[in-house]
Amino acid sequence: MAQNQQAISGTGHFYSLLLCISTLFVLSSHIKYKNDMAQIVSPSLLSANFGNLQEDLKMINSSSCEWLHIDIMDGVFVPNLSFGPPVLKYVAELCEKPLDVHLMVVEPMNYLPAVKNLGAKIMNVHYEACAHLHRAVTQIKDAGMMAGVTLNPSTPVHLLKDIIHELDLVLLMSVNPGFGGQKFIPHTVNKVRELRELIDSTGSKALIEVDGGVNVETGKLLAAAGSDALVAGNAVFKDADPHAVISALRAL
Ligand code: DX5
Ligand code: ZN
């Protein structure tokens, strides 16, 4: 009888041990999951000091940011111009971070060879600039880049329903594109939430990136709503300690 009780309590210990091990396993995988949830940070070169780009690129290379965001504007799709090919060639040579290219141009597919030649990791085209979005996305992926589709603040998320499974990234504009240093549009947080639901419910692997007026304060709201990547221009380049801002955004 006593022997039986010992055997039973031995079995009990065994099961408690198993329970402890599995709890630890679940906890550690949860911690890993949380680490995996850190935001990708893509500082926007548009806010760099164009009088000393080399210095700012050095800062980017030595920082913990994942990508460098490059805004290309044509003065037609948006009321501004940004970088041309010679500057971009120089940036691509000096930058050690993968390039996240955002094309604010009409006929963005005309620039596919140029963006590919830069060695870009991601090519973002605006939904509003592509009459044949499926063809554009296919061509970007065939060229070996991640295909990103960008939505202006007034373009609804649900318009991506029939292409979301093909996308590597969706870039949500949280300002009207064309200029750095603008005020964040709060409704973007709802759009991130809606896009997160669309992505999760369709099994799409698309990353959610947000661009415009992002700083640690607005980034916190975006991360909580389900963003994966944050573009930040002024918040990074105009701060006295850009590395600290990048680290703070990554930790959101
Ligand atoms: C705006 C650009 C942004 C801009 C972000 O048209 O697409 O990438 O540089 O700059 P901040 O973070 O200063 O709003
Ligand atoms: Zn941008």
Q: Is residue 45 within 8 Å of residue 54, measured between CB atoms?
A: no
* 127/159 Cα distance (integer angstroms): 9
Per domain, the residue ranges of the chain are 1-36, 39-250
* 161/198 Cα distance (integer angstroms): 7
Cα 182 to its chain centre, rounded Å, is 19
pLDDT of amino acid 16:
55
Pocket test residue of 45, 46, 105, 236 for ligand 1, highest count of atoms within 8 A of CB? 46
| Active site amino acids | 71, 211
Phi-psi region of 210 (alpha: psi -120 to 50; beta: other; left: phi over 0): beta
Closest ligand to residue 43's CA: 1
Q: Which long-range contacts (CB under 8 A, 24 or more apart) does 151-157 make?
A: 151/126, 151/127, 151/191, 152/126, 152/127, 152/128, 152/176, 152/177, 153/185, 153/187, 153/188, 155/127, 155/128, 156/191, 157/191, 157/194, 157/195, 157/198
**Residue where the block lists tokens 């590597």:** 168
**Residue 1 structure tokens:** 């009888």
* 247/131 Cα distance (integer angstroms): 38
Tell me which residue of 44, 154, 157, 151 sits closest to 101, measured CA to CA: 44
Q: What is the mean pLDDT of each run of 10 residues along the chain (252 residues)?
A: 49 51 43 59 98 97 98 98 95 98 98 98 98 98 98 98 98 98 98 98 98 98 98 98 98 98
* 109/136 Cα distance (integer angstroms): 7
Fold for the domain defined by 39-250: TIM Barrel (3.20.20)
| Nearest atom, ligand 1, residue 238 CA | 13
Instruction: Kindly state the helix (H) or strand (E) to which residue 2 belongs, with its residue range.
Output: helix 2-36
The pocket around ligand 1, CB under 6 angstroms, is made up of: 44, 46-47, 69, 71, 102, 175, 177-182, 211-214, 231-235
Distance 188 CA to ligand 1 centre (A): 14
* 114/91 Cα distance (integer angstroms): 14
* 228/37 Cα distance (integer angstroms): 7
Tell me which residue of 184, 208, 179, 212 sits closest to 196, measured CA to CA: 208
**Residue where the block lists tokens 């548009």:** 46
pTM, two decimal places: 0.87
Backbone dihedral angles phi then psi of residue 207, each to the nearest 5 degrees: -90, 150
pLDDT of amino acid 25:
44
